[in-house]
Structures are given as structure tokens and as C-alpha cells.
Chains A and B, each alone.
Chain A
């Protein structure tokens, strides 16, 4: 099977340009997460791939099977694309029981009744709902409904399965379990999938690659580790993880290092900008990389501990100095008062 390739897709709703040239490749056996804040166009992109939204430029294809190509005026209707889609609301048909919900796609493909039975049974077995075939959607729990929705999208073995925030309707505890279950299912069945989510942890956990969207364009894409550890833009850096933000003036900028001046101190970080010396710049550092030091030193700022918060497995400390607030994690609380906060140079990105 060939890659699913989306090229420079543009889509307008009214006067509002939702997608401004989004490109994407899904290699067979890979899960790609479309990640972004609300309004970034991630769901629209997914729906355009499914054939439920109409782009006005670009192309979508799996190998020689062209779904959409603005230049060649090709637009395959949703039902001819043969993809599987799991809706955020699951969209199980309330007038059909679990078996009929799952069997529908096979029925439409003219599969013989006997084969439908075995394949639906097999799929329901794979998702662990083998004994609930006769139930109606309203008789299932949220987690079970979600599994049925996945089974319905899997049963006719689509080349790519599209997941539209499939976990967001579950409560927090269930969501973590479902996440692990879904990742296991994807790995065992060797599925190719596009997974839309606004939850970066979910994206990192489930996906092989993450495509980060920002107002209709792709901000960055790559494996989860790259997105988390090597953000290319300020948006990417701030969207992933929990962060501190240091505003300062750029006093030195080479290809590798940049030095920010904050409260008269020189703070060194990784250069992520071409801005000239003397301009304003922003430093971003993950909460878990901030260290509390006992005395002054390189890349340290003197700050006052305002509020220690107990989070269960660790403490979160809030330091402040004038307008600047820095949060950090610690395994034990510190005494209130003045402390030194260290920003390791390899963990601080300067934009």
C-alpha cells in the first residue's frame, strides 16, 4: 500500500480561510497525530481527507488513487474513498444494534452474509466487545461506545483510519486507559491512522509522528521527541509541555547560542532566532528543566519563592521577581524567601 499524501490543501468556510496550504504524509503502519489548539484547522483537515469538507486547492491521494486534486478537477465523494472515520461523538446509529452498526460498511460493499458475520465477530473480538453484539448504543457505556465506533471504522479494513478526538468524550481516568488500549490496538493490528487531538500528551503517546497545526498552516512536524525537545518556533515550544517564559533583550546571538539579558544577568540558551542584538527576545524553558540552586552562578536568577504547591508525586514552586514568574518542580518544598533559580543553557530556547 502507498502513502497517503496531502499536498498544499486550502479550504475556505465563508470568508474564513481555515486551511492555508496544509501538507501531510502518512506512511503505511504509521500513526500521525494532528495536533493544535482549537481553531487551528486540525479537524477540518481530517474531514477534508475523509471527503466531508470541500477544499478549493491542493490534492489528496493514496498512491494512484486520487481523492482530490484541484488542478485536475477530481473530487471523489466520501463514500468512494474507502477510509474509516471515528467521530468525536462516536455517531453510532441509535436505531441499529452493535452488530448492525459494525456490519453496515460490509453490507454496503456487498459482502456475503456469512462473511459479514465472521468479520464483525472477529473485529468485535479484537476490541473486546465480543459479547455485546446485540446491545443498542444507548445500552453501552461511553468507553464501550467508543470501541464500537472504532470497530465500525476498522471492519472493512480501510487503508487509513481517521480518528477525530476519539478520547475527548471520556472522563480523565478512562481517557488514560483508553489511550493505552488504543495505542496497543494500533500496534497489534499494524494500522495506519490520522489522529486528531488538542491534547499534546495524547498525541505524543499515540502517534509515531506529530503534525502541529497553527491557524491553518503546519507549524512543525516530526516524531514526538523532536517536537518536544527541539521546537522550531515559539508557538511549537509553548504549545508542547508546560513552560516558563522569560522576556529579555538579546545581547549576543550566534548560530548556536543566544544570550538574553534579564534583570542585568546574562542568561545563555539555544538560539532559535535570527533577530539582531539589542532587540527583544523570549526565552522558553520547560518546567521540569528549571533547577533550584543554593547560591549565585551562571544562568541563575535571584527570585523569591511565593507559593509552594503540593501535587502529590512532587511539588510545584512558584517564584516571582517583579513581572517575572517562574514555576519549577521539586521533590521537596523549600523555605519561603529568596532562592536562586537556574536555567540550564541546553534547556532554554531563545526565540
Chain B
């Protein structure tokens, strides 16, 4: 097969997979009824209906407030954390690093459940506080708490980009400031952080953008107060008019994408700028840690406190909850310990299927996805053509679609094209949705490893007489084998964690832990939810441990 044929076939399939769901949503948004309804006509009715809804605007402004608020919290904390971890002698940095990244890898719904059982009105920490103080000094179910929690759980995102930028900076700049008489904190604020401003700015836009994708936290923490964001509004809209109100949902989806798409584009521009900034790196790659002196332990305590609030409280809460019958005032924990919740899991065939499906999608689905991402990356690898830009823009489309939205769009695709509908209730639909949603991430992982293949190695094979495709088979792919394995592990972690993408596709045969958790939470089955959450966290923990053990970089 000529290489050009391979390239266009791969690009064609990828384009179809990405563009079809989006086009269907846009088309649906201009109909008066669901697309399968024969009375559906083209009109702006759905737009005028949704935009006249007060709830929609309420949800919109709440989303803006949350996204802005969490960026305001996560950006300074993340940047400061990066400075402490990369540049100073904070104790135990080596062990803190993987812990800091936990909030990225644990499902947001699990974190949200954890907060509910730990610091909710009857949570373990709340009852403890009530015993001691006589009252509960916090209120979990408020917009403020939601913003704080969202902000704290997104500190690692800012940390990742700031740390990467800081590592690229020469340390002599900081040493010069130190010698001139600046304290460590002054060095951070006057030298290091301004130097990595483009990276911080990028991370800020990223977090703001992630605010629009937020689903698990507002679903669990906002619901009791009727705090709706766009994604939860979309979720609630499912049965708004009694009949499936596809056209209204489509309008909300279009509205979400209309906000996220420019943000994705902006991130792309900012990232380029940030990289240009960092590429001016000094020769001082040997990093000399900045001595914090007496500040050392204060900084350490601050990091531990953040870890406690963001990681320990929710994970401890959910784990403890999964091992007790109940808790509350006057209940001794030692008397209510039980393993029953785990035994119960087996009684629900859909839960058992969900656990197995989750493993399957992580292990097998992840592997297949990495193969697909590699196929796309190889199609544009060393291709001197304007077509490669198509892929650049292609990966941005699913990036702008929150998982919930992508799952919905894909559900419609399966309904719209009758030949595909038998696949809807199989794990293939879940796999396809996951692969599309994580296309940008997966492509970045794979192209990162491809970049490390020296062009001469491929040219040498060409000159020896190998065709383009043969070169890829005999030289390129064997050389990126380990990079692909690392990508597989990271995709496994992502797929096992994923919860929002599978929600609309949830049905008999397509259960995964993430979407099951959301639906079980709705039924109030807290025992089951906590046990299943722990199962999910354990899977991720095992994956993370393997990754750390193998030395896989946790950030692509």
C-alpha cells in the first residue's frame, strides 16, 4: 500500500470519528424535535427556548463563577507549589511528587463522594467537630465550598505546567537574586515566577477551561442546594419536557462548545508562546536547591495541609465509609465495622459487570486506543504537507467537548445511523467515546515519543531500500515500543478513572464503574457507592504504583 493511501485512510477515519458526533449535535440543535421524529423541522426554536430559560443563564453564570474562582485559587497555589517542589529544599520532595498528582488521577465523583461522607452535614469529620466544638464550622453544600474544593483539586494541573517551565529555567538567575539579598520568597515572586509567567498563564486558561468541563463535583456537591452548572443543567435537562428533549440538549451542548472551543484555541496559542519562552534555557541544568532555612518546615507543613484537605480527607472518608454500617453521633466506629458492602457488590450483576468492564476498557481498550493514536501519529509523522495541520485542529474538537457531551453526541450517532445501533449496547460504544474524548491527550503522549526518534534512523532504512510503510514497521514502531507501553499505562489510568463520558451510554452491557457510581449515587445507595469507589481508587492506585515503579513520567 502506498504511504499516501495509508495517510488519507487514517486521517479520513479519524476525521469522521471526530466530526460526525459534532455535526450531528449542531444539526440536532436546529431541529424542532429529536432527529428520529418525522415531524422534526429546521428552526431556531430550541435556541430561543433555551436562551429564554432563566435556569440556563443561572447555570451559565454559576459556571463562570466557579471556573473563575477555581482558577483564582489553583493558579497561585499551583505556581507556588511548583516553586517549592522544583527549586527549594523542602523535605521529602521525592515522595511528595507522586502524591501531589493524585487528584489528577482520582475520579472527581469519587473525590466528591469522599467530601460528602467526610465533611458533609453528617460526615465523619463533621460529627467529630460537633462532638468537640458543639457545631460544624463549615458548610459543604454551598457555592463557596464547591469553588474552594474545585480550586484545590486543580492545583496539580497548574503545578505540572509551572514545574515543567521552572525545570527549563537556569538556576543562576535565582542565585543572582539570592546573592543580591533576596529572601527565598522574594526570589520566587520577583524572579522565578515572572520568568515562567507564560506557562502559568497557560495553566490559568486551562483551569478556567476545566471549570466548564466540571461535572462530578457540581453534580454531587451542588445538587442539594440546587446549584446548577452548564454540565449538570444539561444532565437534568434529559427529561425536562417528558419526551427526550434532544433539541434543547443539543443547544446547551452547542453553547458549551461555543465557550470551550475558543478556550482550547487560546490554550494552543499560549502553549506555543510558553514553549518559546522556556526554550531559551540556560546551560545551568544542574539544579542547586534554594535553601529555605527555617521556612523549610513551614513550607512542608503547608504542602501536607493541602494534601490532607485535597487527598486525605475525601479518600479517607470514602474508604472508612465503605467499611462501616453507619456513623453518626454516639456511634462507636469499632462496633460498626463491616465487610458487607464489598460482599454486596457481588450481588448486583451490573456492578460485577461494571468492574470487569472497567478493567477491560482500561487494559484492552487502552491498548487498542494507543494503537489507534499511534496509527494517526504515524500517518502524519515526517509528512511534509499542509495536511498535518488538519490533525492539529482535529484533536482540538474533542478537546472542546466535555466527556458528558461527547458521550451524548456519540449516543446520538449510534441512534442516527441504524447500521451502527447494534454496537450501542456493547463496550465498543464506550471505547469509541473514550478514545475520542482522550484523542488529544493520547496523541500528545504518542507524538512525544515519536519526536525522540532521530530522523537518520528512518532515512538509513529508506536508503537501504525500505518503502515508507516498511520503515515505519521495521524501524519507527520498534523504536517507540517503550513509549507506547508507557502511554498504554497512562491511558489505562485515564480510562479507569473516567466517569462522565459513559453516563449517556450506560445500559446493560456497557456499565463501567464511573457511570455506575453516578447512577447509583442518584438512588442513594451510599454503601454500594463507597465500596465501589474504593475499588476504583484501588485500581488506579495499582496502575499508579506500576507506573512509578517503571519510571513512567506521569505527565505527558
B is a partner of A: yes
Which A residues are within 8 Å of any B CB, using their own CB?
50-52, 77-85, 87-89, 91-95, 104-105, 108-109, 152-153, 156, 162
Q: Tell me whether A108 and B454 are in contact in the complex, defined as CB-CB below 8 angstroms, given that A91-B460, A95-B479 are known contacts.
A: no
Chain B min CB distance to A202 (Å): 21
Residue of B nearest to A54 (CB): B384
Q: Does B339 contact A (CB under 8 A)?
A: no
Are the C-beta atoms of A152 and B465 separated by less than 8 Å?
A: no
Q: Which residues from chain B sit less than 8 Å from chain A, CB to CB?
A: 454, 456-457, 459-468, 470, 474-475, 478-479, 481
Q: How far is the CB of A138 from chain B (nearest CB, A)?
A: 13
**Shortest Cβ gap from A273 to chain B (Å):** 43
Q: In the complex, how many angstroms separate the beta carbon of B477 from the nearest chain A beta carbon?
A: 10
Residue contact A104 to B461, C-beta cutoff 8 Å: yes
Out of B454, B462, B470, B474, name the residue touching A52 (CB < 8 Å).
Answer: B462
Find out whether the CB atom of A78 lies under 8 angstroms from the CB atom of B459.
yes
Residues of B within 8 A of A87 (CB): 456, 459-460
- Chain B nearest CB from A48 CB (Å) reads 13
Residues of A within 8 A of B478 (CB): 93, 95
Q: Given A87-B459, A93-B457, check contact A79 B467 (CB 8 Å).
A: yes
Picked from A89, A94, A104, the residue with its CB within 8 Å of the CB of B464 is A104
The distance in angstroms between the C-alpha atoms of A88 and B468, with both chains bound, is 22
Given contacts A89-B454, A91-B456, A93-B457, is CB(A83)–CB(B475) below 8 Å? Answer: no
Minimum CB distance partner of A84 in chain B: B463
A109 partner residues in chain B, CB cutoff 8 A: 465
Closest to A162 in B: B463
Closest partner residue, chain B, to A82 (CB atom) = B465
A79 touches B463 (CB 8 A): yes
Would B460 and A51 count as touching, CB distance under 8 A?
no
Check if A78 sits within 8 Å of B479, measured CB to CB.
no
Shortest Cβ distance from B384 into A: residue? A54
* Given A79-B463, A85-B459, 12 more pairs with CB closer than 8 A: A52-B463, A77-B468, A79-B465, A79-B466, A83-B463, A84-B463, A85-B463, A87-B459, A87-B460, A93-B457, A152-B460, A162-B463
Complex contact B467–A52 (CB within 8 A):
no
Out of B460, B474, B481, name the residue touching A85 (CB < 8 Å): B460
CB nearest neighbor in A for B474: A104
Are B463 and A93 in touch, CB under 8 angstroms? Answer: no
Interface centre among B459, B463, B470, B474 (most CB of A within 10 A): B463
CA A83 to CA B470, docked complex, whole Å:
17
Q: Give B173 Cβ to nearest chain A Cβ, in Å.
A: 32
Q: A79-B465, A79-B466 are in contact. Are A94 and B479 (CB under 8 A)?
A: yes
Report the Cα distance A84→B468, complex, angstroms. Answer: 17
Bound form: Cα–Cα A40–B289 in Å? 45
B463 & A51 in contact (Cβ 8 Å cutoff): yes
> A93 to B461, alpha carbons, bound, how many Å?
9
B contact residues around A51 at 8 Å (CB): 462-463
Q: B454 is contacted by which of A79, A91, A95 (Cβ under 8 Å)?
A: A91
B456, B462, B479, B481: which contacts A79 (Cβ < 8 A)?
A: B462
Nearest-Cβ distance from residue B1 to partner chain A, whole angstroms = 14
Q: Which residues of B contact A77 (CB under 8 A)?
A: 462, 467-468
Partner of B475, one of A84, A93, A156: A93
A82 and B463 CA atoms in complex are apart in Å by 7
Cβ contacts under 8 Å, A91 to chain B: 454, 456-457, 459-460
Given the known inter-chain contacts A93-B475, A108-B470, please indicate yes or no for A78 contacting B456, CB distance below 8 A.
Answer: no
Instruction: Say how far A195's CB is from chain B's closest CB, in angstroms.
Output: 16
Chain B residues with Cβ below 8 Å from A153 are 463-464
- Closest A-chain residue to B478, C-beta based? A95
Q: Which residues of B contact A80 (CB under 8 A)?
A: 465
CA distance A229 to B462 in the complex (A): 40
Contact between B465 and A108, CB atoms less than 8 A apart: yes
Cβ contact of B459, chosen from A52, A81, A82, cutoff 8 A = A52
Known: A79-B465, A108-B465. A93 touches B460 (CB 8 A): yes
Chain B residues lying within 8 Å of A81, measured Cβ to Cβ, are 463
Give chain B nearest CB distance to A153 CB in angstroms: 8
The 8 closest A-B pairs by CB, nearest first: A91-B456, A105-B464, A78-B462, A85-B463, A91-B460, A108-B465, A87-B456, A95-B478
Q: How far is the CA of A51 from the CA of B456 in the complex (A)?
A: 13
- What CA separation (Å) do A84 and B463 show in the bound complex? 6
With a cutoff of 8 Å between Cβ atoms, the chain A residues found around residue B468 in the complex are 77
State whether A105 touches B456 (Cβ < 8 A). no
CA distance A87 to B479 in the complex (A): 18
Distance in angstroms from B270 CB to nearest chain A CB is: 26
Task: Let me know if B454 and A152 touch, CB within 8 A.
Answer: no
Task: Tell me, in angstroms, the Cα distance from A77 to B465 when the chains sit together.
Answer: 9
Q: Which residues of B contact A104 (CB under 8 A)?
A: 461, 464, 466, 474
* Closest Cβ neighbor of B457 among chain A residues: A91
Q: How far apart sit A151 and B474, CA to CA, in the bound complex (Å)?
A: 19
